[in-house]
């Protein structure tokens, strides 16, 4: 038995005390690809947060003497058909795209965790009902449902976050339920029960902390998914409306043949921004999973 096996066994026997933050960071740091992901995200995040100070031009101001201009020293990424500076737009678009991802994933995480906790802890008919409900939501073609709901509630940024968030929790609900099922049989939970702890205390103090790392890792994927969904909606013209810039709606101009074939600087940079961000989030998620998972081998 190697030392890592021994520590793993010890961890299991003592009911896996939560890893300290320092250990998590130390393990995460060793994951080179995850660091690269973090770097890319910090880069885009920095651009989004400090957009007003980085961009020289107003993202919504049309310079009518400079429409459809290719990249130059004045306009780093060129201008669109309305003469708007695309570098400024891509920075400001990052604000919308990234916050839609974060907020929608947080909404999903909260809903998924609550449904999973209740389902796994209550068991019986409650569990059965919630599981059928989860399956029902999974059967629905999510993108289709999002399209329709957004068209009903109106395409504001908040509505889009909300709709994507309320339909993206199914995976997390199942994950949390599975975790709860195994955690509630653990000795320390039995001990809590033996000293007469309330159901609320058992759920939130004993079980929830053991579930959160898994939800966090799964949520990285949800953030990526939400960013892609928002981009698709906005590209189709059903999501966030112009003049507010998002990476998705910046590309919708390429639906016209002229912009597509003659002005590639309009649609290639936002496409790359989406792709890089999503790849970076996936890298980060891989690193987090390896750093947080008590069963992962490398220590």
Partner 1 sequence: MGKYILARAVIAIPMVFAISLVTFVVSNLAPGDPVTAMVDPNTIAVMPKGYLEQRRQQLGLDKPMSVRYVLWLGQLVRGNLGYSYFNGISVAERIRIRALPTLELAGAALVIGTVLGVVFGVVAALRQYSIYDYVLTFLSLFGLAIPSFFFALIALYLLSYKIELFPAWGMSSTDEFSLLDNLYHLVLPASILSIELMAGTARYARTAMLEVLDSDYMNTARAKGLSEFVVVGRHAFRNALLPLITVTSLRLPFLFGGAIIIEFMFAWPGMGRLAISAIEARDYSVLMGLTFVVAVVVLISNLLADVLYACTDPRIRTG
Q: Interface with partner 1 by CB under 8 A: which residues? A: 132, 135-136, 138-145, 147-149, 151-152, 224, 228, 231-232, 235-236, 238, 248, 251, 254-255, 257, 260-261, 264, 267, 271, 274-275, 278-279, 282
Please list the residues that pair with 85 across neighbouring strands: 79
Would you say 152 or 194 has its CB closer to partner 1?
A: 152
Give Cβ neighbours of residue 246 (< 8 Å, ≥ 6 apart): 93, 96, 97, 100, 230, 231, 234, 239, 240
User: CB of residue 198 vs partner 1: minimum separation in angstroms?
Assistant: 34
Would you say 20 or 298 has its CB closer to partner 1?
A: 298
User: CB of residue 135 vs partner 1: minimum separation in angstroms?
Assistant: 7
Residue closest to 291 by CA, chosen among 24, 45, 60: 24
User: CB of residue 166 vs partner 1: minimum separation in angstroms?
Assistant: 12
Quickly tell me which residue has 């059965």 as its tokens: 128
Would you say 143 or 188 has its CB closer to partner 1?
A: 143
User: CB of residue 148 vs partner 1: minimum separation in angstroms?
Assistant: 5
Residue 153 CA to residue 123 CA, distance in Å, equals 35
Buried (b) or exposed (e) across 179-195, using 16+ Cβ within 10 A? bbeebbebeebeebeee
Would you say 110 or 260 has its CB closer to partner 1?
A: 260
Would you say 121 or 283 has its CB closer to partner 1?
A: 283
Residue closest to 164 by CA, chosen among 156, 135, 277: 156
User: CB of residue 209 vs partner 1: minimum separation in angstroms?
Assistant: 29
């Amino acid at each position: 038995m190697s030392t890592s096996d021994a520590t793993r066994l010890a961890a299991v026997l003592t009911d896996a005390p939560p890893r300290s933050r320092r250990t998590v960071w130390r393990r995460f740091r060793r994951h080179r690809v995850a660091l690269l992901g973090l770097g890319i995200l910090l880069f885009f995040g920095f651009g989004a947060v400090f957009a007003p100070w980085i961009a020289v031009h107003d993202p919504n101001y049309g310079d009518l003497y400079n429409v459809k201009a290719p990249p130059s020293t004045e306009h780093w990424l060129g201008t669109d058909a309305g003469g708007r500076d695309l570098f400024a737009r891509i920075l400001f678009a990052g604000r919308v795209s990234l916050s839609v991802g974060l907020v929608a994933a947080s909404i999903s995480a909260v809903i998924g965790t609550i449904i999973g906790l209740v389902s796994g802890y209550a068991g019986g008919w409650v569990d059965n009902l919630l599981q059928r409900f989860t399956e029902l939501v999974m059967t629905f073609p999510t993108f289709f449902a999002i399209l329709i709901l957004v068209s009903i509630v109106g395409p504001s940024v908040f509505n889009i976050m909300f709709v994507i968030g309320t339909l993206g929790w199914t995976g997390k609900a199942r994950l949390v339920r599975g975790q709860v099922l195994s955690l509630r049989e653990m000795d320390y939970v039995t001990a809590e029960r033996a000293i007469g702890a309330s159901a609320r205390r058992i759920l939130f103090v004993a079980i929830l902390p053991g579930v959160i790392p898994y939800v966090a890792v799964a949520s990285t994927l949800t953030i990526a998914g939400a960013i892609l969904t928002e981009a698709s909606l906005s590209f189709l013209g059903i999501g966030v409306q112009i003049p507010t810039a998002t990476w998705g709606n910046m590309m919708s101009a390429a639906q016209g043949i002229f912009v597509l074939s003659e002005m590639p600087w309009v649609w290639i940079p936002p496409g790359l921004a989406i792709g890089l961000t999503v790849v970076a989030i996936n890298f980060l998620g891989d690193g987090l999973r390896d750093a947080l998972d008590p069963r992962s081998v490398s220590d």
